[in-house]
Amino acid sequence: MREGGKVLRRLGLAAVVALAASAAAAQTHQFSTDQRNLACGSPTSLNDGWPTATPESVGLDGPRLCGIAARLAATNANVHAVVIVRRGKLVFEQYFNGPDELWGTARGPFEFDATTKHDMRSVSKSVTSLLVGIAIDRELIKSVDDPILKFFPDYSALKTAGWDNITLRHLLTMTSGMQWDQNRPWADLQNDERQLSMDADPFRYVLSKPIVAPPDTVWNYNSGGTDLLGNVIERVSGKSLEAFAGEALFAPLGISDWEWMKYRNEHISSAAGLRLRPRDAAKIGQLVLNKGAWGGREIVSAKWVEQSVTPRFQAIGYFGGLFYYGQQWWMGRTLSGDKDVKWIAAQGLGGQRIFIIPELDLVMVTTSGLYGSPRQGSAALDILANFIVPYIRDNAR
């Protein structure tokens, strides 16, 4: 028995050692699993108003989403963030390092995470449109059919033929007929957007441009019109654009860490200067998806959102191809297998995207550093077509 007791004690010790080793392995496995889950997009809790969930709980394919990183690396997409929201819940966010620009100045490689602000560039235009809508909701502006010169009496001496017929709506839809060319290289002095950023009085610069086509007949991408809209908001509200945006839009959305950059001439860039955290940009998308509401509160009227995202003109997108334009918002569609889904988007130079897909109750945001590249934005469309749309499982609740 004594010898048997020794054997039992030895077996017991071995069992304890084995159990401890098994527990350690399990803990290591759990740690590795947690790390993998974190690495492939588990949302970080920042107490910023976003409820979080797993992709599977909202009908998305988590393992498939985990393949996004490899695809981006293989294609040298220089994407800095991918954020996905479904059914009002943040279910995926992943950040990547890479070179970037801060308001036109190269920097990097840079480390991005959930708390890093990013240039949103012309996504700013869509946000400015929301602010115009709020100003109309508050009756600071009567309607989009108000003539633009009504708001600029101090520039009346500049008036040339055709300007009397230009309304806020024409600026919102980019169909004013104004002579404007910002498709030239940035270094080209004939690039109107460059001149807008450098002129001592950018509003005078825009208002002095000739009208060369009847309004509502030709769509032409135009940051100058958006800058006029931003200044209209300042004039009717008696506040700077930053102050009005902070009080009327960002604070109700729980967005506290943001910037709106200025040109070299110290005038705010309504058309391109906004910097946001990607998960805060997703709140803008969710606001539009919710038809102007956030957390049960109306921030901008459903009527304005509907007007803004109604296709009005055919337009050429940043990523090529023909799409539709509303009031500073883009519309298009993604074909994936037998699925054809329509989307609404805010687009910014370099690959900044907010995609809103109402029929899938989904918002996706990407940020990227492909400024000047013809590939900008292609990664976002690839993610939609090959990692999200085909793998929707709507029976998951």
Predicted local confidence at residue 316, as pLDDT? 80
Predicted local confidence at residue 332, as pLDDT? 95
In a domain, 219, yes or no: yes
In a domain, 3, yes or no: no
Mean confidence (pLDDT) of the chain: 89
Q: In this predicted model, which residue has the larger pLDDT, 316 or 225?
A: 225
Predicted local confidence at residue 29, as pLDDT? 32
Predicted local confidence at residue 397, as pLDDT? 42
In this structure, the strands spanning 259-260 and 89-95 are unpaired
In a domain, 378, yes or no: yes
Interior/surface letters 131-164, b for 16+ CB within 10 angstroms, e for the rest: bbbbbbbeebbeebebebbebbeebeeeeeebbe
Predicted local confidence at residue 320, as pLDDT? 58
Predicted local confidence at residue 376, as pLDDT? 87
Predicted local confidence at residue 21, as pLDDT? 38
C-alpha 17/C-alpha 23 separation (Å) is 10
pLDDT per residue over 350-374, tens digit each? 999 999 999 999 999 999 999 988 8
pLDDT per residue over 379-389, tens digit each? 999 999 999 99
C-alpha 282/C-alpha 57 separation (Å) is 19
Give percent of the chain with pLDDT exceeding 70.
88
pLDDT per residue over 90-115, tens digit each? 999 999 999 999 888 888 888 999 99
pLDDT per residue over 151-164, tens digit each? 999 999 999 999 99
Predicted local confidence at residue 371, as pLDDT? 92
Residue 126 phi/psi, 5-degree rounding, is -65, -35
The total number of structural domains that make up the chain: 1
In this structure, the strands spanning 330-336 and 322-325 are antiparallel
In a domain, 55, yes or no: no
In a domain, 93, yes or no: no
Which residue range is the domain that position 353 belongs to? 114-391
> Tokens 């900044």 correspond to what residue?
352
C-alpha 203/C-alpha 196 separation (Å) is 8
3-state DSSP assignment of residue 167: strand
In a domain, 283, yes or no: yes
Q: What is the 3-state secondary structure (H, E, C) of 10-23?
A: HHHHHHHHHHHHHH
Residue 238, token pair as written in the block: 């008696």
Judged against a pLDDT cut of 90, whether residue 56 lies above it is answered with yes
Give me the DSSP letters along 148-182: GGGG-GGGGGG--TTGGG-BHHHHHHT-S-B----
C-alpha 302/C-alpha 289 separation (Å) is 10
Residue 270, token pair as written in the block: 């309504």
In a domain, 129, yes or no: yes
Predicted local confidence at residue 92, as pLDDT? 98
Confidence of residue 395 (pLDDT cuts 50, 70, 90): low
C-alpha 34/C-alpha 41 separation (Å) is 11
Interior/surface letters 108-117, b for 16+ CB within 10 angstroms, e for the rest: eebebebebb
Distance separating the N- and C-terminal Cα atoms of the chain: 60
pLDDT per residue over 163-219, tens digit each? 999 999 999 999 999 999 999 988 899 999 999 999 999 999 999 999 999 999 999
In a domain, 5, yes or no: no
| Least confident range of 9-23, 277-291, 316-330 | 9-23
Residue 177 phi/psi, 5-degree rounding, is 80, 10
Judged against a pLDDT cut of 60, whether residue 17 lies above it is answered with no
C-alpha 350/C-alpha 373 separation (Å) is 7
C-alpha 223/C-alpha 43 separation (Å) is 34
Residue 329 phi/psi, 5-degree rounding, is -130, 150
CATH number at residue 288: 3.40.710.10
